[in-house]
């Protein structure tokens, strides 16, 4: 028997070993260097493979890409920072993590279900189903009304949105429902269904935006829209439809009247302008005639002042020339009869006699 220890072989003999060499068990002690070298040679490719895998994972974890509609929150040992620009980005592997977020506007229905889930399935026409717990509200005049809203929101602060990612949507929905009910409760049912929709939408948007700024959860309101508003019963709904039809008829008549006005007004203005121009022309004519008469009177007065007698005779003759053709001669007989003769016959006879 022999044992290997290091590089030395040690043998042990039995009885009579002093008289001569005899074979016996040998003990050999091994230091293990050959085994270690073999083990190292076996582990070397495994270590290399692990190193390659580690490097590949680190390389893959060092780069990421953001699209035009994306932004990201980059955390370094849990401390967040925002990344807003698109394109390929670098980060330190393992110690930095990326949480991508969408820049797009998202929507939240309130009062109806748009996902057709099992709890509130769609109707037979595959339309969204109203959720009574969210849509039924009471108005200022103590009437019930079903109102469906659609809230459009967008991430405005990615870091705050990342910090509040677990509760932000629930906070937004609870606040929206609260302000919607308060606002609808300050209007009459007629205003909610017909004329007050735009005012209600604007008021809810303003109140909700201010509150979200105070909450500072990284979400902002883009728009608030009333999708539908109707009374809870069919009879009331029909009555409101009749009122709406009457209002539309009134608007139609008003539009027709405005159209007639727009058609007739230019013609009336044209007539008025023509009448004004004619009046102005007549005024100028009368002024010119008056000025001419005044001028002739002044000239005549100057002549009269120079030769009064001659001027009087001239005026008498001119007046008689104007009056004689229109005069009638009346002859009274001795028997009381009257005969009216035209003067022009005498004038013509005198003229003829004078010619003879």
For 5, residues 6+ apart whose C-beta sits below 8 A from its C-beta are 27, 28, 29, 30, 31
Domains of the chain: total: 2
Q: Is 143 a member of any domain?
A: yes
- Domain carrying residue 193: 104-117+127-231
What is the residue-averaged pLDDT of the chain? 77
Neighbouring CB atoms inside 10 A of 125's CB total: 5
The pTM of the whole model exceeds 0.85: no
224 plus 132 within the same structural domain: yes
H-type helices in the chain, by residue range? 33-60, 132-135, 158-163, 168-184, 189-190, 197-215, 234-306, 308-323, 343-355
108 plus 201 within the same structural domain: yes
Model pLDDT, residue 218: 92
Q: What is the pLDDT of residues 109-167, one digit of tens each?
A: 998 887 644 344 444 455 677 788 888 898 998 888 899 999 999 999 999 999 998 99
Q: What is the DSSP letter of 15?
A: T
Q: Is 210 a member of any domain?
A: yes
143 plus 66 within the same structural domain: no
Q: Is 48 a member of any domain?
A: no
Neighbouring CB atoms inside 10 A of 181's CB total: 15
Q: d(Cα 25, Cα 175) in Å, to the nearest integer?
A: 93
Q: Is 209 a member of any domain?
A: yes
Last residue of a domain, one of 231, 257, 290: 231
199 plus 154 within the same structural domain: yes
Is the model's pLDDT at 210 over the cut of 90? Answer: yes
Model pLDDT, residue 168: 93
Q: What is the mean predicted confidence (pLDDT) over 5-12? A: 45
Phi, psi (rounded to 5 degrees) for 56: -65, -45
171 plus 77 within the same structural domain: no
Q: Is 20 a member of any domain?
A: no
Is the separation of the CB atoms in 176 and 151 below 8 Å? yes
Q: Is 140 a member of any domain?
A: yes
146 plus 181 within the same structural domain: yes
Is the model's pLDDT at 286 over the cut of 60? Answer: yes
Q: Is 160 a member of any domain?
A: yes
92 plus 133 within the same structural domain: no
159 plus 196 within the same structural domain: yes
What CATH number does residue 169 fall under?
Answer: 3.30.479.30
Last residue of a domain, one of 231, 264, 294: 231
190 plus 90 within the same structural domain: no
92 or 325, higher pLDDT: 92
Q: d(Cα 308, Cα 314) in Å, to the nearest integer?
A: 10
Q: d(Cα 193, Cα 191) in Å, to the nearest integer?
A: 6
19 or 198, higher pLDDT: 198
CA dist 50 → 42, 46, 55, 60, 259 (Å): 14, 6, 9, 15, 85
90 plus 112 within the same structural domain: no
Last residue of a domain, one of 183, 200, 231: 231
141 plus 160 within the same structural domain: yes
Q: What is the mean predicted confidence (pLDDT) over 264-286? A: 88
90 plus 108 within the same structural domain: no
């Amino acid at each position: 028997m022999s044992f290997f220890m290091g590089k030395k072989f040690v043998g042990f003999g039995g009885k009579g070993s002093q008289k001569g060499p005899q074979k016996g068990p040998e003990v050999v002690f091994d230091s293990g260097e050959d085994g270690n070298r073999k083990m190292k040679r076996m582990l070397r490719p495994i270590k290399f493979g692990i190193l390659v895998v580690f490097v590949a994972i680190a390389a893959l974890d060092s780069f990421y890409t953001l699209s035009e509609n994306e932004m990201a929150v980059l955390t370094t040992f849990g401390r967040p920072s925002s990344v807003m620009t698109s394109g390929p980005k670098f980060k330190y592997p393992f110690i930095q993590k990326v949480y991508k977020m969408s820049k797009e506007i998202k929507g939240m229905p309130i009062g109806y279900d748009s996902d057709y889930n099992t709890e509130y399935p769609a109707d037979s026409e595959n339309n969204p189903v109203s959720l009574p717990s969210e849509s039924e509200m009471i108005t200022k005049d103590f009437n019930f009304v079903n109102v469906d809203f659609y809230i459009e929101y967008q991430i405005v602060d990615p870091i705050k949105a990342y910090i509040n990612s677990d509760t932000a949507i629930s906070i937004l929905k609870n606040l929206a429902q609260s302000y919607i009910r308060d606002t609808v409760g300050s209007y009459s049912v007629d205003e909610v269904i017909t004329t007050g929709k735009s005012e209600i939408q604007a008021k809810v948007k303003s109140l909700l935006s201010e509150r979200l700024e105070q909450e500072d959860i990284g979400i902002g309101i883009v728009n608030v829209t009333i999708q539908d508003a109707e009374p809870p019963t069919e009879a009331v709904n029909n009555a409101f439809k009749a009122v709406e039809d009457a209002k539309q008829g009134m608007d139609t008549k008003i539009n027709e009247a405005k159209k007639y006005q727009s058609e007739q007004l230019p013609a009336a203005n044209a007539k008025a302008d023509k009448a004004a121009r004619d009046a102005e022309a007549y005024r100028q004519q009368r002024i010119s005639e008056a000025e001419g008469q005044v001028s002739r009177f002044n000239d005549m007065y100057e002549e009269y002042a120079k030769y009064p007698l001659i001027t009087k005779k001239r005026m008498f003759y001119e007046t008689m020339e104007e009056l004689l053709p229109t005069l009638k001669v009346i002859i009274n007989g001795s028997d009381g009869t009257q005969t009216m003769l035209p003067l022009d016959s005498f004038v013509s006879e005198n003229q003829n006699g004078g010619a003879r």
